Structure formats: C-alpha cells, structure tokens
C-alpha cells in the first residue's frame, strides 16, 4: 500500500491506495475553518420585499398604520409598524405592562414623514396594547393605539418564580437567559417573557458594540450549533457564519464562547479534531469575509503531560482543558481564558499567547508555568474550581498595578484545588490581582453562605452591572428532588443584599435548557440607532 498526502488550502487530504480501493477523508486544519453564508439573509430580503410592496400598494397613514408582527420570523414578540405622517415627526412607541411593571417605551428622535418603527417587549399569549405617539417640531402630538395579539408562552420556557424583586435598586433592563441548547429569552422584573428568539441556540448570546446580538445557533434537526448569527433585536440577520468541522460528530461545535475583538473580528471557542483532543482551540473570524485569520491551540502553551496524562471529567473525549470563556483585556492587549478542567484562569497576550499570569491553585504546574501562578496576598486564598465567565471590572481602587476579576466559582476540584470543600457550595467571587507583584486577594464574594442550595457542578455566570455596580450571578444547574433548577441572583453593590432573585425550574438531566448564563441588558440597545425613517422613500429634515 502507498500513501499520498496532499496539502490543500482547505485542509489535509489523505488518500490511501491499494489494488482494490481508494479511501479519502479530510481532517480539520487551521487554514480554513470558518465561512460566511447568506442563505437566511436572502430569505429575509424576500420577506422585506413582500411587506414593503404591500405598504406601497396601501394607504398607511398615522391613523391607519401597517403592522408586521415578527417581521423576519426570528423574534415572535416584536413587530414593525409603517406609516406616513403629514408633518415631519418623531415617534415614541409604548407597550403597556402588567401590574406595577414599568411600560416599555422608546423614542426615535429623528423627525421624518415616512416611518418604519420597531416595537419590542410584547407579552406572549396576550392582546398587547401598543401606543404610538407622533410629535412634530411645533410640539403637536398625535396618539394612536393598536392591539397586537401574540401566541401562547413558548413551551421551551422554564417554570419561573420571582423570589425577590426591588426594581428601584436593580440594574435596568431585561434579564436574558442563555440556555445550553434551547432558545434564548428575556424576562422583566416580574419574570414575564418580553422577548425570545425562535431559533435553537447554543451557549453564545451577547450584545455587540453596534447593538446587534451575537447568537450561537443551529439550522439542523440534531441541533448542531455550528453557526453564529449577528442579528438586530427584530431578528434581522446581518451576518451568518459557519464553523466547519465535518469530522466532529458531537453537536456542540461552538462549545462555549465568542467575543468581539477591538479590530471588529470575532474570537470563538471551537475544536481541533485533527487529533484526540477537544475544547482547547480558538479561531479568530474575519467579520467581513467569515474566514479564519488566526487559530490558537492551547496545547501550544501547556506541556504535553497536561493533556496526555489528564484524568478527570470527559477524559475519554480528550477534554483536558474545557475552554469555557474568553474575555478581552484592552488595557494590555491580552485575553483571559477559563479552563474548567484545569481549574484555572490564564491571562495571555493576544495573539502571541505568552502567559502573563495564572489564577489557580499552585500544585500540578510545570516549572515554567509555576512561575506565572499568582501568589496569595495574605497567604491564604480560595482558588477557583471548574469556574466560568471571568470578566475584568472597571478600576476599583485607583491603583494602576491592580486588576479586578469577577467570575463564577463552581467550586468543583478538577486537576487542582481544595478537595475538602469541593462541591459544598458555588459562589460569585471577585479577585484583585496585582500584576506588577504577581499577587492576588479576594475582595468580594457571594454564595458560600447559601451552601449546597447554591451549588452548580456545571455552568454558571457572574456579571458586573456598570450602572449600579450590582453583580448578577447565575447558578445554572442545581440538583433538586425532581430534577434540576437554576437560580439568578442580583446583589446590590458590595453589600451582598439581594435585590432580585429568579428561580427557573423544570430542568431535566441532560436537558438543553440548562441555564448556561444570564445577561441584564436594555431591550432597546443604545448603539442600535434604528432610524424610524422608512427605507422605501424616506423623508426627513
């Protein structure tokens, strides 16, 4: 038998030849792992053509607006209204809320005559009352109310119970719930759904700097989440990227995270299935072309024994790292990465991947890596165990040498850590790292006092709230008598006082509805800047 190996731009092709057969197969290679697609974008363009033609054919004044519910087929609790006003006017749209919940309202500041106005924040299974106001430059106001009836509450939603809600002390916005493999949705302060995606997603749900959402998603019945969609809040798809792993049999292709880099590109956690290991690779995707411009393999910075001799969860899958989070550190052009199965957070220069420091228990490192492990400021420290979602906080102490990192410490000892307290509790914890001295201390934490009730063996999140300085914690997979539940807690400032707590139940073992993360975000993004002028013959002054 003879072998011929061809190096192609798309990857390696190995051809085995003998007298009876020819077998060929391709292996994932860094040259081309991602691509851009336009199929759904083109479908939505056809939808737009239909309702814009309908608008042109009709006579839709302020008193007779055209209303398109879920205009792009991706966000059922949204609508688009189109109409003409006699004078240039700015538009305010308001969705009436229940009980003591504030109405959801938004003003589009431009003065136009032709209007295309998004409506966000409808309730499911409700005849929603939507008020539209038009104010001209002289201050004259017209008001019109329309009723929008929506379908019942989606079946994928968790059972929701609000334990505590103090809206005046909470960070403004909806709480958006990111599943492991289900549909993302947002709830108000009373736990009522006010937005959801109709697309099955996976792990990634983030707001980009332009106000759009970045969604990990699937287009197949097996829920293989190999796509990233950039969409606006109406569900209009701006970009559609695919991660190509033809030889990876599992469905979690984009397994945990994606972030936006300062150069506008995306950095995504993927797999390198050219070998026996997984969840240890990142790719940088060119936002304009969808092509891979960087591939970063964490096996390049760890000694071989770290992955060859790993013994722990998912050992048979080669899941030695379980890379579950990335955060960009703009101050020193580095990234934070979280390796669940290494129970460590690393700061790496990007894209060179030189190690700045390691936050993790000191045992089990190679001699070179041990030099980068942060030392406890006061001689004692609770190190993270199987942690998730590290993020860098704004300056907390006016010291240029320190950096505060908030994360969710699942407190499960893997590879290294304190076995005596492993799995007793989970917590949000804030570390203060002196990068100049190579030291670390704990300055805030919440969760240990709740013990086993707040323990989540897998998944979790910790977010700093920039307007209030609150923290939002997600313990996403808590064992209860009839299965699992998740608890989302918002604590006030540094006090630890609970101002919001939402319990999500009905999760079964292995359920795709496991709550991976949660985010507090305004429903109308400030950076969105959606013009109320209709693209079909807009007029403004």
Report pLDDT digits (tens) over 442-494: 999 999 999 999 999 999 999 999 999 999 999 999 999 989 999 999 999 98
Round to whole Å and give the CA distance between 368 and 303: 9
The DSSP 8-state label assigned to residue 416 in this structure reads: B
Mean pLDDT, the chain, integer: 91
Stretch(es) of the chain classified as CATH 2.60.40.10: 39-149
Give the span between the Cα atoms of 160 and 133, in whole angstroms: 34
Split at pLDDT 50, 70, 90, the class of 27 is: very low
Q: Which CATH architecture has domain 39-149?
A: Sandwich (2.60)
Contact 431, 443 (CB under 8 A): yes
Query: What per-residue string of b and e applies to 321-358 under the rule 16 or more CB within 10 Å gives b?
Result: bbbbbbbbbeeeebbbbbbbbbbbbbbbebeebebbbb
Task: Give residue 92's pLDDT band: very low, low, confident or very high (50, 70, 90).
Answer: very high
Looking at the chain, which residues constitute the CATH 2.120.10.30 domain(s)? 159-521
> What percent of the chain lies above the pLDDT cut of 90?
85
Nearest to 203, CA basis, from 523, 512, 525: 512
CA distance 271 to 139: 58
471-500 in b/e form (b: 16+ CB < 10 A) is bbbbbbbbeeeeebbbbbbbbbeeeeebbb
Residues 205, 82: contact at Cβ < 8 Å?
A: no
- Architecture (CATH level 2) of domain 159-521: 6 Propeller (2.120)
Q: How far apart are the C-alpha atoms of 443 and 441, rounded to whole Å? A: 6
Q: pTM for the full model?
A: 0.92
Backbone angles phi, psi at 299, to 5 degrees: -65, -15
Mean pLDDT value of segment 4-12: 35
Digit-coded pLDDT (tens) for 324-378: 999 999 999 999 999 999 999 999 999 999 999 999 999 999 999 999 999 999 8
E-strand stretches of 65-171: 66-69, 78-95, 104-120, 127-136, 141-149, 159-165
- CA separation, residue 158 to residues 1, 28, 224, 312, 503 (Å): 57, 37, 22, 31, 9
Per-residue confidence (pLDDT) for residue 170, from 0 to 100? 98
pLDDT at 534: 67
Q: What is the mean pLDDT of residues 128-152?
A: 97
pLDDT at 28: 37
- Note the residue count of the chain: 541
Lowest mean pLDDT among 239-253, 287-301, 362-376, 388-402: 239-253
- Which pLDDT band holds residue 33 (cuts at 50, 70, 90)? confident
User: What pLDDT sits at residue 541?
Assistant: 54
Q: What mean pLDDT do residues 401-416 have?
A: 97
Is the per-residue pLDDT at 4 higher than 50? no
């Amino acid at each position: 038998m003879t072998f011929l190996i061809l190096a192609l731009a798309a990857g390696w092709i190995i051809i085995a030849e003998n007298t009876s057969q020819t077998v060929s197969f391709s292996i994932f290679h860094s040259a081309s792992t991602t691509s851009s697609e336009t199929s759904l974008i083109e479908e939505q363009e056809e939808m737009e053509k239909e309702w814009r033609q309908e608008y042109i054919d009709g006579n839709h004044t302020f008193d007779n607006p055209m209303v398109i519910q879920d205009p792009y087929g991706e966000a059922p609790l949204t609508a688009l209204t189109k109409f003409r006003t006699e004078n240039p006017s700015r538009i305010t749209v308001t969705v009436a809320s229940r009980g003591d919940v504030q109405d959801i309202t938004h003003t589009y500041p431009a003065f136009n005559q032709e209007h295309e106005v998004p409506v966000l924040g409808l309730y499911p299974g409700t005849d929603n009352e939507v008020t539209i106001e038009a104010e001209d430059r002289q201050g004259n106001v017209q008001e019109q109310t329309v009723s929008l009836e929506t379908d019942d509450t989606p079946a994928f939603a968790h059972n929701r119970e609000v334990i505590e809600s103090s809206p005046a002390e909470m960070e403004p916005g909806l709480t958006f719930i990111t599943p492991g493999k289900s549909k993302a949705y947002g709830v108000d302060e009373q736990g009522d759904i006010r937005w959801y995606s109709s697309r099955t997603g996976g792990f990634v749900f983030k707001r980009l700097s332009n106000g759009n959402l970045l969604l990990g998603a699937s287009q197949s019945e097996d829920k293989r989440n190999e796509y990233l969609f950039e969409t606006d809040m109406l569900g209009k798809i701006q970009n559609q990227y695919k991660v190509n792993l033809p030889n990876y049999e599992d469905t979690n292709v984009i397994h945990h995270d994606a972030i936006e880099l300062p150069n506008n590109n995306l950095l995504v956690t993927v797999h390198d299935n050219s070998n026996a290991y997984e969840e240890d690779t990142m790719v940088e995707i060119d936002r304009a072309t969808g092509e891979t411009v960087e591939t970063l393999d964490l096996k390049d910075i760890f000694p071989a024994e770290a992955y060859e001799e790993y013994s722990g969860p998912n050992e048979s899958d080669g899941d030695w790292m379980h890379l579950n989070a990335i955060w960009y550190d703009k101050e020193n052009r580095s990234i934070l990465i979280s390796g669940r199965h290494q129970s460590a957070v690393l700061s790496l220069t990007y894209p060179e991947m030189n190690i700045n420091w390691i936050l993790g228990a000191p045992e089990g490192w190679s001699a070179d890596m041990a030099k980068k492990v942060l030392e406890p400021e006061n001689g004692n420290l609770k190190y993270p165990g199987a942690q998730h979602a590290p993020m860098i906080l704004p300056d907390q102490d006016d010291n240029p040498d320190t950096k505060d990192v908030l994360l969710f410490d699942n407190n499960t000892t893997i590879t290294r850590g304190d076995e005596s307290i492993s799995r007793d509790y989970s917590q949000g914890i804030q570390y203060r790292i002196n990068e100049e001295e190579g030291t670390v201390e704990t300055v805030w934490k919440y969760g240990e006092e709740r013990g086993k009730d707040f323990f989540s063996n897998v998944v979790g999140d910790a977010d700093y709230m920039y307007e209030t300085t609150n923290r939002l914690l997600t313990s996403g997979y808590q064992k209860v008598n009839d299965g699992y539940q998740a608890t989302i807690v918002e604590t006030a400032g540094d006090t630890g006082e609970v101002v919001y707590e939402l319990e999500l139940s009905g999760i079964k073992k292995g359920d795709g509805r496991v709550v991976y993360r949660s985010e507090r975000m305004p429903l109308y993004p400030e950076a969105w800047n959606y013009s109320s002028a209709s693209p079909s013959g807009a007029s403004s002054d």
